[in-house]
Structure 1
């Protein structure tokens, strides 16, 4: 029986407030019945809502309410920060629909039509990705970022993927900060130093545990990814395509940790600037950091060295909104992770921001998928693909002349768009993330058709040019 919204008005449901953690997991808590029709980001779950009092851990009803609570709170949090008029990309439709169990896998996807979650039994424990609020809010973050900057969906650049994965983890973190109980716990756990590893910084502990049972070095030792880290920026075209979790690679989830680590330090610095270091101040710091990130995402041009532009635009947004009150915290965080070189950070003065930042306040979310991108055509035969292949490379003009740190000193020179795009394609192929239909494969194709290896991209007939194109199908 489907339960009507008015019947739920004064009821509560049993949910996990945070990730269920390593087995045996955490204790569920009661939250008000979530409302999925949260504007401007309404969501839905593919199955009918069960009775609010019918759910216990390990049941489909419990998973439904955990996911619904995570979707509702995430939509509400982002809805308060994004510009008026922001909405899901057209392919999603009015409502973003979540499918809670699409089969056996330790994964979750945003597909541009909805969210997909999976399950797998590991060491006798049944692990459902939809039963983790952090994973649900991470995937929701992909959809929110797609609404703000749809150009990143098909951009052939490592830093676009890295921002997407970092934004997902930041989505989980900022939504968690909506809970007073979690804020109190984190402040106690870190003694007020938010840069330290904590329940807030550790992403998806249960899923990380499950993956670790199968491939020990694929994830962090205590979670899937930890935003409390010291990874230092390197141009991803110079990084290996894959490697163990304790190394930095160009793979999206690995490279994302540079930006998410800097964001955590920026949040910690903003928190230290609050008049009192209590749970209310932590909530305020989260709001400020989230707003600056949204402003930067909307305004920053899509270019190579994209991380640096986002960092610069967060500093510019702070200058516009708060008179530069949090500039030191932001500069320090981005310098410590190498996203901004020392000379880049110090060049972003109030006068420079005012001179180059005209129009930042008028920047609008959305736009066409190819806005700001330029096409690069490569010879597909070099990659085992028949015919010319079109890639969407970063093509906008930099607003700020800034870049990341060169480890030997000074600033790195950003790679040119063609190098960025071809390096990205090669890394996808090296990791086996591209589905190449049989009719497009040459005799020397490198595709191995391993059914256990998921793909994120596909080679398809180009809709905008002659030949073939690299097309994204999902964020995983």
Structure 2
């Protein structure tokens, strides 16, 4: 979302509370106020708006399992009363210890991330299933170990490790936005008749990248990230750890050394080299901003991109020297890189064909988007970020039969 539209939401929007990272991560113990870009009073109890609604279902098993109420036009199983806004039309009065908080924060996370990416795509994102059901159904607290995004028009979320006393997935920003990313991909790219392995790998990468960019719209995330890394983002940090869980675990790492292999067909593992290559582009755009604004040296930027393990401490110390006293300038450079990268990926994805989708074709679309948006300024960066991972414009695997996307998000790497 552009910084201008972000400011517009703060001025005229409806307040909610969201944890931008898992609350067990130091520095993120408290939720943050966010502004949904809809005026107070326009979001109904539920919460519900014209495109989505939350149902806090009771004693529900996952859809498709025996005993689960059917989902057709609108969910009709047992559920708690709809969550009400306060007298001002806001939902930020709800406390984390209340069950209703989960319903409100799930809605706010999905709506906020959708607004961010509709801005990058430059248009409304129509749900792929809208002819059958009018609104996206959000179910926050289902007693199972999973987080599911279905092309039938719903998101239903459980708990890590199946423990319903733990922090539910619906309060984990990265996990929830990753699953929304699947809905966005269904709408923007579509579902092919015969998906390739890379379609499914890209499906996971798409969700991770949607979540990474959305997380950079929290001041707490950006400030914490820069204050802890000093701008050295080629590292394991809050941004590169996708889906932080308790006890230092995370679901996947965007900062990785994974390379494309025709022997890997499991979607989450196959996603890693594509996610890693795209993440490198984001960081490189940020570092080029720093260099062009005389905030770091060209030598440090080159060293950071090609560093070895033994050089990492010295690189971090150099970044620290440049960062101190220039904190606001570094932040502005990162927000600009965030928006350039978001627009780059959205433009590429709009031109991606669902049929015969291969990483090489998506890479070609990224290069074309760079030419269209930035006159090819980042071509070398884009190519180098993917080439060493074995992803070129010729990269492809064999097709396979389509399976409906149901994800166990707790794949660790």
Normalised TM-score (structure 2): 0.69
Which structure: greater strand fraction? 1
RMSD: 3.0
In the alignment, is residue 27 of structure 1 matched against residue 42 of structure 2?
A: no
1:55–1:62 CA contact under 8 A, matched in 2: yes
Secondary structure (helix, strand or coil) at the match of 2:179 reads: helix
Secondary structure (helix, strand or coil) at the match of 2:387 reads: helix
2:145–2:161 CA contact under 8 A, matched in 1: no
- Higher-Rg structure is 1
Secondary structure (helix, strand or coil) at the match of 2:53 reads: strand
2:189–2:352 CA contact under 8 A, matched in 1: no
Equivalent in the alignment of 1:223: 250
In the alignment, is residue 234 of structure 1 matched against residue 261 of structure 2?
A: yes
> What are the superposed Cα offsets for residues 59-82 of structure 1, whole Å, 9 maximum, x if unpaired?
312212321221122011111011
1:475, 1:119 → 2: CA distance?
A: 13
Deviation at 1:138, TM superposition (A): 0.8
1:11, 1:143 → 2: CA distance?
A: 24
Equivalent in the alignment of 1:114: 154
**Match 1:187 to one of 226, 231, 243:** 226
Secondary structure (helix, strand or coil) at the match of 2:120 reads: coil
1:295, 1:13 → 2: CA distance?
A: 30
**Match 1:332 to one of 384, 401, 404:** 384
1:163–1:307 CA contact under 8 A, matched in 2: yes
Deviation at 1:178, TM superposition (A): 1.3
**Match 1:296 to one of 337, 348, 354:** 348
Equivalent in the alignment of 1:157: 196
1:168, 1:101 → 2: CA distance?
A: 21
Normalised TM-score (structure 1): 0.61
Equivalent in the alignment of 1:472: 404
1:13, 1:143 → 2: CA distance?
A: 22
> What are the superposed Cα offsets for residues 416-463 of structure 1, whole Å, 9 maximum, x if unpaired?
xxxx23xx45xxxxxxxxxxxxxxxxxxxxxxxxxxxxxxxxxxxxxx
Deviation at 1:300, TM superposition (A): 3.0
1:12–1:30 CA contact under 8 A, matched in 2: no
**Match 1:16 to one of 16, 19, 23:** 19
Uncovered stretches (5+) of structure 1, i.e. residues with no partner: 1-8, 210-220, 240-249, 341-401, 405-413, 426-469
2:155–2:179 CA contact under 8 A, matched in 1: yes
Secondary structure (helix, strand or coil) at the match of 2:138 reads: strand
Alignment of 1:9-158 (within 5 A): 12-21=15-24, 26-32=28-34, 34=36, 42-47=51-56, 48-51=82-85, 52=91, 54-84=93-123, 86-91=125-130, 93-119=133-159, 125-152=165-192, 154-158=193-197
Change (3 A) 1:472 1:230: same
1:305–1:403 CA contact under 8 A, matched in 2: no
1:116, 1:296 → 2: CA distance?
A: 29
1:305, 1:53 → 2: CA distance?
A: 42
Ranked by relative contact order (alpha carbons within 8 Å, sequence separation 6 or more), the top structure is 2
Deviation at 1:143, TM superposition (A): 0.7
Ranges of 4+ aligned residues in structure 1 off by more than 6 Å: 121-124
Deviation at 1:159, TM superposition (A): 0.6
1:10, 1:34 → 2: CA distance?
A: 5
2:110–2:176 CA contact under 8 A, matched in 1: yes
Equivalent in the alignment of 2:288: 273
2:151, 2:30 → 1: CA distance?
A: 29
Deviation at 1:44, TM superposition (A): 2.4
Deviation at 1:301, TM superposition (A): 3.8
In the alignment, is residue 256 of structure 1 matched against residue 271 of structure 2?
A: yes
Uncovered stretches (5+) of structure 2, i.e. residues with no partner: 1-11, 44-48, 57-81, 86-90, 294-328, 409-413
2:149–2:407 CA contact under 8 A, matched in 1: yes
